[in-house]
Amino acid sequence: MAEFTMELNDDQKQVRDWIHGFAADVIRPAAAEWDEREETPWPVIQEAAKVGIYSLDFYAQQFFDPTGLGVPMAMEELFWGDAGIALSIVGTGLAAIGVLANGTEEQIGTWIPQMYGTPDDVKVAAFCSSEPDAGSDVGSMRTRAVYDQAKDEWVLNGTKTWATNGGIANVHIVVAVVDPDLGTKGHASFIVPPNTPGLSQGQKFKKHGIRASHTAEVVLEDVRVPGSCLLGGKDKLDERLARARERAAQGGGERVKNAAMATFEASRPAVGAMAVGTARAAYEVALDYAKTRTQFGRPIIDNQGVAFQLADMRTQIDAARLLVWRASWMAVAGRPFTSAEGSMSKLFASEVAKKVTAQAVQILGGNGFTREYPVERMHRDSAIYTIFEGTSEIQRLVIARTISQMPIR
């Protein structure tokens, strides 16, 4: 187990600089165009695949970095480039994490490569959990999966929403209810292979920010998938459901994590790193602007009102990064989140991104309010971090429950 460190090693620095170069040379020049088009930036994803950033091997190397810093380092640099395009590049990762966290070795080896495709024929994947009436309240999920024993198939029906890459994905990972009497403990995740009949794209959302990332509804109508597409396998599911029923009959007991929650817990520090990247980008623009913009015969950074804002921005960004790195190291080291450190990192970094990007707009004044400068886009993009993969309110609830051991509602 690697000791916690705040210093990247030489290999990590080399990877960081490589990703930063791609973000600066490829992502940033394309950011404004794809934000305006509100379309998936397939040419940029293909470029990322050609250099090796959009690939299973790249994410596996970062995921298995023994220090835990590989993933947050990569996320910060990509999202420093642009949040919308970066999310299009990394969005497949959430589905891949769902398979890694819950799947068998055979499922991991079979399906994750199909999520990425090849540099000449790139593919994307989608993780489908939220529903029109089940966002933060995952217990209200209505999508059902019923087992057809005669055919060894699962039949899925329902509607998912807010799915990154939903409908355009080669592989969809769908969370569904298999036993409604067990609440969230009765959920399971399923792989929906490419071109499966019954799966279609519903509404594509026109969003406030991260416009280059495709977000849509996914409609499932009598979607049949083989029994082998149940993540983890039926034996494991049956054992888990039996334990949950027994605990329910006994009036409670040990908490059981469902498949969606396991995926989100693994990805929350990474979302924090995304927020750090966006905040850092806006801060750097504001700092450069403040040093070159003159009013009343001197740079505006000479005014304490501006200089102190920049000092606070930098302090908050560094604090957010440290929380993200701590949670990422704890996860890879097998340290339990006894104080919900994963949720802490996501909560704090998300709130910092919103605050720092708003301050950047303020420092640029009227220019910051126009699309001639990127802080306007960064401010719009930052709003998503306090919403997706668990709102800030949900993070606070998780933290409060964890530190108090009380059923706070």
- Least Cα distance to 270 among 332, 356, 335, 360 occurs for 332
Catalytic residue among 239, 265, 389, 393: 389
Q: In angstroms, rounded to a whole number, what is the distance separating the alpha carbons of residues 176 and 182?
A: 13
* 167 half-sphere exposure, CB direction, 13 A CA radius: 19
Residue 18 has which token pair?
A: 């490589």
Whether 360 contacts 309, CB under 8 Å: no
Residue 382 has which token pair?
A: 């930052």
Residue 70 to residues 8, 88, 137, 191, Cα–Cα distance (Å)? 9, 19, 32, 27
Residue 183 has which token pair?
A: 């609440």
Task: Give 193's DSSP letter.
Answer: -
Q: In angstroms, rounded to a whole number, what is the distance separating the alpha carbons of residues 43 and 48?
A: 9
The separation between CA 176 and the C-alpha centre of its own chain, rounded to angstroms, equals: 20
Q: In angstroms, rounded to a whole number, what is the distance separating the alpha carbons of residues 105 and 99?
A: 9
Instruction: Classify strands 125-128 and 171-177 as parallel, antiparallel or unpaired.
Output: parallel
Q: In angstroms, rounded to a whole number, what is the distance separating the alpha carbons of residues 82 and 24?
A: 9
* 406 half-sphere exposure, CB direction, 13 A CA radius: 4
The separation between CA 50 and the C-alpha centre of its own chain, rounded to angstroms, equals: 23
Name the phi and psi angles at 211, rounded to 5.
-70, -25
For residue 389, indicate whether it is catalytic: yes
- The catalytic site residues sit at 389
